[in-house]
Amino acid sequence: MFISEERKRYLSKIKREKLFVSFFRFLIIFIFIIGWEVLARFDIINTFTFSSPSLIIKTFAELLRNGSLFSHIGITSYEVILCFLLATIIGLLFAVLLWFVPIFSKIVDPYLTVLNSLPKVSLGPLIIIWVGASINSIILMSLLISTFITIINIYNGFTSTNKNYIILLKSFGANKWQIFKYVVFPSNMQVIISALKINVSMNLIGVIMGELLVSKKGIGYLIMYGSQVFNINLVITGVVILGIISYLMYFIIDTFEKNFNNK
């Protein structure tokens, strides 16, 4: 396959840009970790309140040795994935319903806005009373945080579809389902993927908030327990693990998005 010199230069430029971005991403993290460790080693910061990378690694190794690390990670990962799937399915289906029934969307629109802006953590005690101090509370908390914003984002995408395409299909006699199938849904795949990215962070926040309230296992429980016994190393280790889980889930969706865009 023949590739012109101009095309080669363009591809080379893109490759250099990716390497540049990746290098400085790594450099920022590296400088932050080294700087943090140096400040701790020279007692410039108090490790009792700020911990240090070496102490976090020791705490991580201790959790690994006593066999509790993968148990806590497994519980939180299961809850996040379950809530992510439920919020995505419910949000997508409800957004489709709102698009198909405009009068219904006009009725529920203010309620969606209010429910989305409501601070869900304030409902924690009520959620525990309603469904009990169990995994059900964690799932409900996460769904309350993520589902409404998923509905709003996807529905806004549906309603922002290029009207010219819709008018064109109507002129050929297409019904509403055909318009949705051939124009509205395909045109908003990028919006749906963006909603999935937001969903990852929202579900993780919801699950951790739920675990802080009722869980006896999970990363949220580790963080709460660490704060109760003033073990800042355990707290920050939990936060670091959460960051890793969040990045891995985001990476999976981002990879899916790139593969989808390359088709």
Residue 3 pLDDT > 70: no
pLDDT value at position 2? 58
pLDDT value at position 171? 87
Residues 6+ apart with CB under 8 A from 218: 72, 75, 76, 79, 207, 211
Across 156-174, average pLDDT = 88
Residues 6+ apart with CB under 8 A from 209: 120, 121, 124, 141, 142, 145, 220
Residue 144 pLDDT > 70: yes
How far is residue 235's CA from residue 226's CA, in Å, rounded to a whole number? 5
How far is residue 51's CA from residue 62's CA, in Å, rounded to a whole number? 15
Residue 1 pLDDT > 70: no
Residue 165 pLDDT > 70: yes
pLDDT value at position 243? 87
Cα dist. 186→99, 116, 158, 180, 182 in Å? Answer: 14, 26, 10, 8, 6
Cα–Cα nearest to 237, from 8, 103, 111, 59: 59
Residue 193 pLDDT > 60: yes
pLDDT value at position 233? 92
pLDDT value at position 6? 77
DSSP classification of residue 6: H
Band the pLDDT of 58: cuts 50, 70, 90.
Answer: very high
Torsional sign, CA 132, 134, 139, 144 = positive
Containing 71, the helix (H) or strand (E) segment is: helix 69-100
The reply to whether CATH 1.20.1260.10 applies to domain 53-261 is: no
Residue 151 pLDDT > 60: yes
pLDDT value at position 154? 93
Place of tokens 């280790």: 237
Question: What are the domain boundaries of the chain?
Answer: 1-45, 53-261
- What are the pLDDT digits (tens) for 219-239? 988 999 998 888 999 999 999
pLDDT value at position 260? 74
Query: pTM for the full model?
Result: 0.83
pLDDT value at position 235? 92
pLDDT value at position 249? 86
Across 50-55, average pLDDT = 91
How far is residue 252's CA from residue 221's CA, in Å, rounded to a whole number? 26
| Mean pLDDT over the full length of the chain | 88
Minimum mean pLDDT among 7-16, 132-141, 148-157: which range? 7-16
- What are the pLDDT digits (tens) for 71-117? 899 999 999 999 999 999 999 999 999 999 999 999 998 898 888 88
Count the neighbouring beta carbons within 10 Å of the beta carbon of residue 15.
10
